[in-house]
C-alpha cells in the first residue's frame, strides 16, 4: 500500500513558500504521492442558496496541473487529481495539460482522477452543460486515451469533434492512468467499465465493500477483470494516533493500493502543524 498525502488546499492559502515547504517535507518524510482536489470557481452561497456542496467562494483551490508542474520541479513525488471535474473542461485541453505534466515530470508520476462534480455555477461559468456531465465523461475518457496514444486522431462524438489532429509531444506514459471518483450507482458502474482505479466516497465498514462489489461486477461484465485496478483511501488525521493507525489497517485489509493522509480540518493554524502531523503518521508507518 503506497502512502501519500492530501494537499491541504483549503488551509495552505496563497503562500508559495508554504506550498514548497509542505511538499518538500512530505517527500523527506517518505510519502510517495500527493493528491490535489479541484475547483475552478467557488460560489457565493448567500446568492446561490439552493446550491448543495461542501465548498463555497471562500475555499482556496490551486489549479492541479499548474500545481503539479511546480511541484515536479523540486520533488520526486507522484501526483493525482482527486478528482478533476472533467466534463466542465475542454477534453483536448485536459489531454494536453496532463500530457505535459507527465512528460515534464519524467513519466509514470501522474494519475488523472476524474469525476462529474456538483457545482452548477461552475459549469455555467465554463460554458458546459451540467445535466449531461455523466454521459460526457464517458466520451471524454475514450478520447483522452486516443489523444495520448495516437499521433493523429479523428473523432466525432456528441460533445467533442477532433479532425485529423493530435498532441505533440505525446506523453511519456501512454496512456496516462485514469481513475474516477463517485459512489452513486451510475458512477460505480462507469468506474467498473472504464476506469483504472477508484477514489471512494465510502469507508471500510461503511459502504466501501458493497460499492467495490458493484464495481467488480461491472468490470467482469466489461471483460476488464484481468486488468490492474487501484483504490485510493483517505486517512483523516486524528490526535488519537491509535485510532488513526487502526483505520489505516482497515483500509489495507480492504485491498487499498494507495492511502493518503489528510490533515485538513484538524485545527492546524500554520503549515508547520500539518507537517508535524505528517511526521507523526510517517513514524507510525515506518516510512523512513
CB atoms within 10 A of CB 260: 22
What pLDDT, on a 0 to 100 scale, did the predictor assign at position 241? 86
| Mean of per-residue pLDDT scores for the chain | 96
- What phi and psi values does residue 86 have, to the nearest 5 degrees? -65, -45
What pLDDT, on a 0 to 100 scale, did the predictor assign at position 288? 76
Identify the bridge partners of residue 113 per DSSP, sorted by sequence position: 179
The third-level CATH classification (topology) of the domain covering 2-285 is: TIM Barrel (3.20.20)
Structure pTM? 0.96
In the numeric block, which cell numbers belong to residue 274? 500539518
CA angle 76-230-158, nearest 5°?
100
Task: Give 164's DSSP letter.
Answer: E
Low-confidence spans in the chain with pLDDT less than 50: none
Q: Are 22 and 8 in contact (CB under 8 A)?
A: yes
In the numeric block, which cell numbers belong to residue 190? 462507469
CA angle 174-178-182, nearest 5°?
175
User: DSSP string spanning 47-75?
Assistant: TSTT--SS--TTS----HHHHHHHHHTT-
Residue 227 zone, left/alpha/beta (φ > 0; ψ -120 to 50; rest) = beta
Three-state DSSP at 40 gives: coil
pLDDT digits (tens, 9 = 90+) for 110-152: 999 999 999 999 999 999 999 999 999 999 999 999 999 999 9
Helices 64-72 and 16-28, packing angle to 10 deg: 60
In the numeric block, which cell numbers belong to residue 158? 456528441
What pLDDT, on a 0 to 100 scale, did the predictor assign at position 239? 87
What pLDDT, on a 0 to 100 scale, did the predictor assign at position 246? 93
What pLDDT, on a 0 to 100 scale, did the predictor assign at position 55? 92
Amino acid at each position: 500500500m503506497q502512502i501519500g498525502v492530501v494537499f491541504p488546499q483549503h488551509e495552505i492559502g496563497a503562500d508559495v513558500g508554504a506550498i514548497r515547504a509542505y511538499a518538500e517535507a512530505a517527500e523527506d518524510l517518505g510519502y510517495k504521492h500527493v493528491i490535489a482536489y479541484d475547483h475552478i470557481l467557488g460560489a457565493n452561497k448567500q446568492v446561490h442558496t439552493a446550491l448543495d456542496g461542501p465548498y463555497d467562494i471562500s475555499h482556496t483551490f490551486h489549479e492541479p496541473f499548474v500545481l503539479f508542474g511546480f511541484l515536479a520541479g523540486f520533488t520526486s513525488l507522484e501526483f493525482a487529481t482527486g478528482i478533476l471535474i472533467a466534463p466542465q473542461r475542454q477534453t483536448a485541453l485536459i489531454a494536453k495539460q496532463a500530457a505535459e505534466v507527465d512528460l515534464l515530470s519524467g513519466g509514470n508520476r501522474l494519475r488523472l482522477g476524474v469525476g462529474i462534480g456538483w457545482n452548477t455555477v461552475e459549469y455555467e461559468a465554463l460554458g458546459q452543460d451540467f445535466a449531461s456531465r455523466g454521459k460526457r465523461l464517458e466520451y471524454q475518457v475514450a478520447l483522452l486515451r486516443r489523444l495520448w496514444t495516437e499521433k493523429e486522431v479523428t473523432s466525432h462524438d456528441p460533445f467533442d469533434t477532433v479532425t485529423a489532429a493530435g498532441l505533440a509531444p505525446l506523453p511519456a506514459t501512454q496512456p496516462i492512468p485514469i481513475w474516477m471518483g463517485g459512489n452513486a450507482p451510475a458512477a460505480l458502474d462507469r468506474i467498473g467499465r472504464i476506469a483504472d482505479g477508484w477514489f471512494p466516497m465510502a469507508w471500510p465498514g461503511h459502504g466501501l465493500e458493497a460499492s467495490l462489489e458493484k464495481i467488480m461486477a461491472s468490470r467482469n461484465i466489461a471483460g476488464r477483470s484481468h486488468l490492474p485496478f487501484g483504490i485510493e483511501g483517505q486517512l483523516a488525521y486524528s490526535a488519537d494516533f491509535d485510532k488513526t493507525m487502526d483505520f489505516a489497517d482497515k483500509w489495507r485489509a480492504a485491498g487499498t493500493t494507495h492511502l493518503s493522509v489528510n490533515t485538513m480540518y484538524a485545527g492546524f493554524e500554520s503549515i508547520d502543524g500539518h507537517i508535524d502531523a505528517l511526521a507523526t503518521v510517517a513514524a507510525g508507518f515506518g516510512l523512513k
